[in-house]
Structure 1
Amino acid sequence: MTRLGYGEEMRRWRVEKYRKLVRLLDTRSGHDIQDILAGSKAEGLTCYLESDWDMLNVVKGVLCVEAGINLHTIPDDIDVFRMDTSVYPGHCRLLQERRAHTRFRQILNSLCDNGYGDVLLSSSLFLDEISALLTLSEVADHERAGPSIPGTVKGVMHVDRVPALRCHCPIILQRWTARTRHWPSPVIVQKVVSLGAYLTPVGFKGSDYKHMEWRMCFNTGETELVNNLNSTQTQVYVMLKMILKDVLKPCKKEVTSYVIKNIVLWQAENNPQHNFYKRSFLYWLHDGLRDLKTAIVTQHLSYYMIPERNLMAASGLQDKQQRKWVADITDMMDEGPRVILRLQRIRQAVIASPEPMLWFSKIRMELEMLALQTALNRFGQCSDAHYAIMQEIERRQVEIIMEVAQRMCIDGCAVNDLEDIFYRILM
Structure 2
Amino acid sequence: MFQQPGYIKNVSLRVSEVLADIGVDERIVQKRRRTWLLDESLFARSLQLLDANGSSYFLGSQCEGTTTLGLQSDCDRLECQNGCNVIQDWADWEPGENNYLMIQDETVSPGYCLLQLLRDDAPLPDNGVPNKYQFKDRTGRILLKNIIMSAGAAIVYEGGVRHGPAYAHRQPGFRDTDIVGACRCKSWPQQARQWFNQQGVGQWPSDLMKKYCSNTGCFVVGVGSKGSDNEEIEWRISTSLAERCLMFNLSITQIRCFVLMKMILKTFIKPHFKDTISSFMCKTVLFRCIAYTHSNAWRENNLLVCLSLCLFVLYNSVLNEHCPHFIIPGNNLMRGHISHEYKPYLLETLLYIINSEGRALLETRCDALGSMIYLKLSCFLSFKTSHIVSGQLLNTTALSINLKIQESLTDITHSSYAEALQTLLKCISKLAIIYDQSQGLDKTACSLLVPHFCTTLGSVLGSCNIQQYHTISADALTWISLGLNTDVSSGKLKLASMLYCIENTQRTEIVLRDIEANYHLNIVEPICHCHDFIGQPPRNGFNAISDNHNEEAIQYITSFCISFLPCEINCVPHELRYEIFRSTQEDIAFRGREDYWMDWAAVDSLPYLYFLQYKTYSSIQSHEDKQRALSNLIRTTGQEPNLGHRETALNLLGQCMEQEDRARDALGCYILSLNLRGRNNAAKVHICRLLSTLVNDH
- Shorter-normalised TM range: 0.7 to 0.9
Deviates more, 1:145-154 or 1:211-220: 145-154
* Other-structure match for 2:413: none
* Other-structure match for 1:357: 382
Q: CA offsets, 1:65-108, max 9 Å, x none?
A: 22xx133x44324322112212111111111123379xxxxx97
Q: 1:254 aligns with which of 276, 298, 305?
A: 276
Shift of 1:364: 1.4
Q: 2:296 aligns with which of 246, 262, 274?
A: 274
Structure 1 residues 393 and 237: alpha-carbon distance in aligned structure 2, compared to 1, 3 A threshold: farther
Query: Does the alignment pair 1:202 with 2:220?
Result: no
Q: CA offsets, 1:205-261, max 9 Å, x none?
A: 011220111011111110110110111111111101111111111654221111000
Indicate conservation of the 8 Å contact 1:153/1:159, yes or no.
no
Structure 1 residues 47 and 252: alpha-carbon distance in aligned structure 2, compared to 1, 3 A threshold: closer
Equivalent pairs counted in the alignment come to: 393
Spell out the pairing of 1:98-177 with structure 2 (5 A cutoff): 98-99=119-120, 110-133=133-156, 135=157, 140-142=159-161, 144-152=162-170, 155-167=173-185, 168-169=187-188, 171-177=190-196
Separation in structure 2 between the aligned mates of residue 366 and residue 220 of structure 1, nearest angstrom = 25
Separation in structure 1 between the aligned mates of residue 542 and residue 373 of structure 2, nearest angstrom = 26
Q: Which runs of 5+ in 1 are unaligned?
A: 102-106, 405-415, 420-427
Separation in structure 2 between the aligned mates of residue 35 and residue 75 of structure 1, nearest angstrom = 22
For the residue of structure 2 that corresponds to 1:385, the secondary structure is coil
Shift of 1:173: 3.9
Query: Does the alignment pair 1:80 with 2:99?
Result: yes
Shift of 1:298: 0.9
Indicate conservation of the 8 Å contact 2:22/2:385, yes or no.
yes
Provide TM-score, normalisation by structure 2.
Answer: 0.52
Separation in structure 1 between the aligned mates of residue 68 and residue 238 of structure 2, nearest angstrom = 25
Shift of 1:170: 5.1
Deviates more, 1:193-202 or 1:383-392: 383-392
Q: CA offsets, 1:285-338, max 9 Å, x none?
A: 0011111111111111111011111111111x2333211111111111111122
Structure 1 residues 51 and 108: alpha-carbon distance in aligned structure 2, compared to 1, 3 A threshold: farther
Indicate conservation of the 8 Å contact 1:150/1:161, yes or no.
yes
For the residue of structure 1 that corresponds to 2:357, the secondary structure is helix
Q: 1:241 aligns with which of 240, 262, 267?
A: 262
Indicate conservation of the 8 Å contact 2:273/2:342, yes or no.
no
Greater share of strand: 1
Shift of 1:264: 0.4
* Other-structure match for 2:23: 5
* Other-structure match for 2:67: 46
Q: 2:327 aligns with which of 302, 305, 321?
A: 305
Query: Does the alignment pair 1:25 with 2:43?
Result: yes
Structure 1 residues 392 and 158: alpha-carbon distance in aligned structure 2, compared to 1, 3 A threshold: farther
Q: 1:95 aligns with which of 116, 119, 122?
A: 116
Q: CA offsets, 1:91-143, max 9 Å, x none?
A: 11111123379xxxxx976233235422110002332134313x26xxx522x
Spell out the pairing of 1:278-289 with structure 2 (5 A cutoff): 278-289=300-311
Separation in structure 2 between the aligned mates of residue 284 and residue 255 of structure 1, nearest angstrom = 19
Separation in structure 1 between the aligned mates of residue 489 and residue 298 of structure 2, nearest angstrom = 42
Separation in structure 2 between the aligned mates of residue 357 and residue 100 of structure 1, nearest angstrom = 67
Structure 1 residues 400 and 299: alpha-carbon distance in aligned structure 2, compared to 1, 3 A threshold: same
**Which amino acid in the other structure matches residue 308 of structure 2?**
H
Q: Which runs of 5+ in 2 are unaligned?
A: 1-18, 123-129, 405-447, 453-482, 491-518, 526-537, 545-638, 643-698
**Which amino acid in the other structure matches residue 4 of structure 1?**
I
For the residue of structure 2 that corresponds to 1:387, the secondary structure is coil
Deviates more, 1:56-65 or 1:108-117: 108-117
For the residue of structure 1 that corresponds to 2:99, the secondary structure is strand
Structure 1 residues 328 and 389: alpha-carbon distance in aligned structure 2, compared to 1, 3 A threshold: farther
Separation in structure 2 between the aligned mates of residue 17 and residue 88 of structure 1, nearest angstrom = 37
Indicate conservation of the 8 Å contact 2:288/2:326, yes or no.
yes
For the residue of structure 1 that corresponds to 2:305, the secondary structure is helix
Bigger RCO of structures 1 and 2 (CA < 8 A, at least 6 apart): 1
Q: 1:189 aligns with which of 166, 186, 210?
A: 210
Q: Which has the larger radius of gyration?
A: 2
Structure 1 residues 278 and 108: alpha-carbon distance in aligned structure 2, compared to 1, 3 A threshold: farther
Deviates more, 1:388-397 or 1:246-255: 388-397
* Other-structure match for 2:90: 70
* Other-structure match for 2:392: 368
Indicate conservation of the 8 Å contact 1:341/1:347, yes or no.
yes
Aligned-pair Cα RMSD in Å: 2.9
Aligned-residue sequence identity (percent) comes to: 20
Structure 1 residues 276 and 206: alpha-carbon distance in aligned structure 2, compared to 1, 3 A threshold: same
Shift of 1:25: 1.9
Indicate conservation of the 8 Å contact 2:223/2:235, yes or no.
yes
Separation in structure 2 between the aligned mates of residue 386 and residue 208 of structure 1, nearest angstrom = 55
Indicate conservation of the 8 Å contact 2:182/2:220, yes or no.
yes
Q: 2:540 aligns with which of 400, 409, 415?
A: 400
